[in-house]
Structure 1
């Protein structure tokens, strides 16, 4: 049996894993979903957020587990798990990127893949007046993230989505072959993703190679639309 630590992406919180955690537990695994600082129920001020704070939080929770974890990052959460892997690799068994940002060393999310056009995020995001966060317009939530999800899941997400601190978007990842690079990596691509386009996902797992790629015929949010299938892949990945 394995221990899973689940990290959400931009605008989301631990709540996005609410279907996945019990399914993993039913199969005999342990699973913990974390609110990164200023996300979900965490009330840290957005203006104070840094990428290092995300890595610190993840490594803190990893240190509380009974064994090395399979660390899963969705979307922008991929950047957070990469930085955490550099910081505390000894407590991580494997990295899993779910339509996640797996970036080359020294690269930030901002501007990466700008030549791959068509993401619906661009049409619906809105920078705050003080330039510390990016909000997502409610009108675009379903078509961007959840077009294959149940109405009740979309309604839940719409009430819980929060502004995204800019720090995780503009800060480059910084890692070494000796720490992050020694950990095995798996990628789960979402083939109907309208947020992180399949072409961009493929670029990432090609530029920064992984040991295995799983493909899901879903939107950006299989934790809602195909939770059972996602859990099967997470178990296979481990």
Structure 2
């Protein structure tokens, strides 16, 4: 199976380097993306918005034969959802890594501090304690050294969705910061941020307790969880 890996904010394709080998060992073909504006710290990020990133993923889907799997981490989950909306017949499954589908008109995060056309990686104190679980000093230093400013409009643009066939695409949610049991409680309580997720017909949950960046803190376990999500029994749902 062709698997497209979509990084979260501040990260490029190399952020999957400890995860991709497990997928390849399981027989999958991995396509880790570096999205527009994340090519380098010196890249021009003006004019790059959420639709730019969704279109880049759609182009990657269109370049491959047959159906593909999308794996989106954090803000990359919203991008994956936009691509599933654009190509619902081409997506075999979406795997959300500490993420979920974003509803019509919502933005990924409009509270991050913007500097010009970009959002640099904030100080660690800007994050919740749950975000930083298992992200020790060495991993924090590695993350900050590789971090690339995010195009600001990717975080603040409202997502535009148009094809309700997106709800027929099976998904797996890998829950890290909060257990899946809490997610299902929020869905039952009709929490606004879960309403799009609640409309998806086929949802599997996997618990991987760690912080918000499991590709750094638990890469082997994350790779194994993705492989399990792509087993024939799961992919056939």
For residues 103 and 59 of structure 1, the distance between their equivalents in structure 2, rounded to whole angstroms, comes to: 17
TM-score by length of 2: 0.79
Match of 1:215 in 2: 207
Secondary structure class of the residue paired with 2:113: strand
Note if contact 1:101-1:109 (Cα within 8 Å) is conserved in structure 2: no
Match of 2:120 in 1: 135
Match of 1:85 in 2: 84
For residues 48 and 127 of structure 1, the distance between their equivalents in structure 2, rounded to whole angstroms, comes to: 14
Q: 1:200–1:134: structure 2 CA closer, same or farther, 3 Å change rule?
A: farther
Secondary structure class of the residue paired with 2:38: coil
Q: Shift in Å at residue 41 of structure 1?
A: 4.1
1:186 matched to 2:172: yes
Q: 1:15–1:151: structure 2 CA closer, same or farther, 3 Å change rule?
A: farther
Matches within 5 A, 1:197-236: 203=191, 204-205=193-194, 207-209=196-198, 210=200, 211-236=203-228
Any idea what the Cα deviations from partners look like across 1:1-25, whole Å, max 9, x if unmatched? x221110111111121110111111
1:126 matched to 2:113: yes
Match of 1:118 in 2: none
Match of 2:148 in 1: 162
Q: Shift in Å at residue 88 of structure 1?
A: 2.2
Matches within 5 A, 1:1-12: 2-12=1-11
Q: Shift in Å at residue 141 of structure 1?
A: 8.4
Secondary structure class of the residue paired with 2:80: helix
For residues 95 and 12 of structure 2, the distance between their equivalents in structure 1, rounded to whole angstroms, comes to: 18
Q: Which moved more, 1:101-110 or 1:50-59?
A: 101-110
Match of 2:46 in 1: 47
Match of 1:36 in 2: 35
Q: Shift in Å at residue 145 of structure 1?
A: 4.8
Q: 1:79–1:4: structure 2 CA closer, same or farther, 3 Å change rule?
A: same
Note if contact 2:15-2:215 (Cα within 8 Å) is conserved in structure 1: yes
RMSD, aligned CA: 2.9
Note if contact 2:80-2:94 (Cα within 8 Å) is conserved in structure 1: yes
Structure 1 unaligned spans of 5+: 112-121
Note if contact 1:138-1:158 (Cα within 8 Å) is conserved in structure 2: no
Structure 2 unaligned spans of 5+: 231-237
Q: Shift in Å at residue 179 of structure 1?
A: 3.6
Equivalent residues, number: 219
Q: Shift in Å at residue 156 of structure 1?
A: 2.3
Q: 1:182–1:176: structure 2 CA closer, same or farther, 3 Å change rule?
A: farther
Secondary structure class of the residue paired with 2:223: helix
Secondary structure class of the residue paired with 1:47: coil
